[in-house]
Amino acid sequence: MSSTLIGIRDDTVDGLYSPAKQKAANRGNYTSRSALFLRRAPQLLAAVKFKLLLAFSLLCLAIFLSSKLSSFMGWIPDRASLVSSPYRGSYTVLINTWRRNSPLKRTAAHYASCVGADAIHVVWSEIEPPSERLKSDLDRAVKLKSWRPDIRVEIEENGGGGSGRFKPIDEVRTDAIFSVDDDVIVPCSSLEFAFSVWKTAPLTMVGFVPRMHWLDLDKSGGVFHRYGGWLSVWWMGSYSMVLSKAAFFHKKYLDLYTNEMPSPLQDYLARERNCEDIAMSMVVANASGTPPLWVKGKIQEIGSWGTSNGKGKEKRNECLNDLLSFYETVPLLSTNVKIVNARQEWVW
């Protein structure tokens, strides 16, 4: 007859399960973990302090580098000017015209439709004054587009001369001047974006037409400065000027250009009609110590090609070198910064 031995587990016997023992063991584990945490707490606190100190140092360094880079790129806000001007949210359109009445009327009407335009002034560069009919046509064209801008015709003394396009105008109420040729149309959206860029850098020129210069050798081995058009900018990836045919600058440069420029330089510009835009670039660069800013944007030219094409390049080279001879050092500064509207770019 077989028998079965049944073992009964005694909770008091070592090695067998006991709820009381398990609770005591758990309390021991918790105690050991707490002790370990307390021993490591100073190390963890030191690590947190180090990370916070490192983050703060990096932030300070970023702010410092940003300020230095901003100064180099022209981002030096003229806060006193921007705050004090009641018209800091708008700009004055300054249209230079010469023997192109039909494009002038179209251009004036277009810029009258831009919401940021406070007024439109036309610089008349011909010997004969504008006809009353032309004035009436301009007024009618502007009123059809916008009720806000006023338009008046500025007549240069002595009838013509490129230097007269930058004469100070007492009636200008805005700090910002948008200088444009009578055959250049910039879409209002692009114009407003460029104006927003200029407000961050009111001491420099902000425009749509970049140009550059560099040192070169002539046939006799002499050194001279060569003027480069758009293809040179595209090829080299840098520029040192933005032309006043479509550019923003502060109105104080009108006074600086007209009233503080040396007489020999003014006489030269009066003789050489096609050099005034290069001269203005030098005036702004020399006064601000900053390079210009090129804003990417599509512009439409409804007139003829400018002097930067074909044989006109030689004339531009001559202008550039003649103007630089009036300065002790070259005021123009090169940069490779191109401003784009991130809302209109797929990759940025």
Backbone angles phi, psi at 177, to 5 degrees: -115, 125
At a CB cut-off of 8 Å and minimum separation 6, what does 163 contact? 257, 258, 266, 269, 270, 276, 279
- 51 neighbors 44 (Cβ within 8 angstroms): no
CA quadruple 95, 297, 77, 259: dihedral sign: negative
Task: Give the closest residue to 285 by CA, choosing from 249, 337, 326.
Answer: 249
CA distances from 92 to 172, 177, 314 (A): 7, 5, 33
At a CB cut-off of 8 Å and minimum separation 6, what does 41 contact? none
For 19, counting Cβ atoms within 10 Å of its Cβ (0-12 exposed, 13-18 middle, 19+ buried), the class is exposed
Q: Which one of the listed residues 150, 255, 277, 322 is annotated catalytic?
A: 277
The four Cα atoms 31, 36, 38, 43 give a dihedral, to 10 degrees, of: -170
- 333 neighbors 74 (Cβ within 8 angstroms): no
Task: Give the closest residue to 281 by CA, choosing from 233, 315, 248.
Answer: 248
Q: What gap in Å lies between CA 124 and CA 246, rounded to an integer?
A: 17
Task: Give the closest residue to 291 by CA, choosing from 118, 22, 128, 70.
Answer: 70
Q: Is residue 14 annotated as a catalytic residue, yes or no? A: no
Active site (catalytic) residues: 277
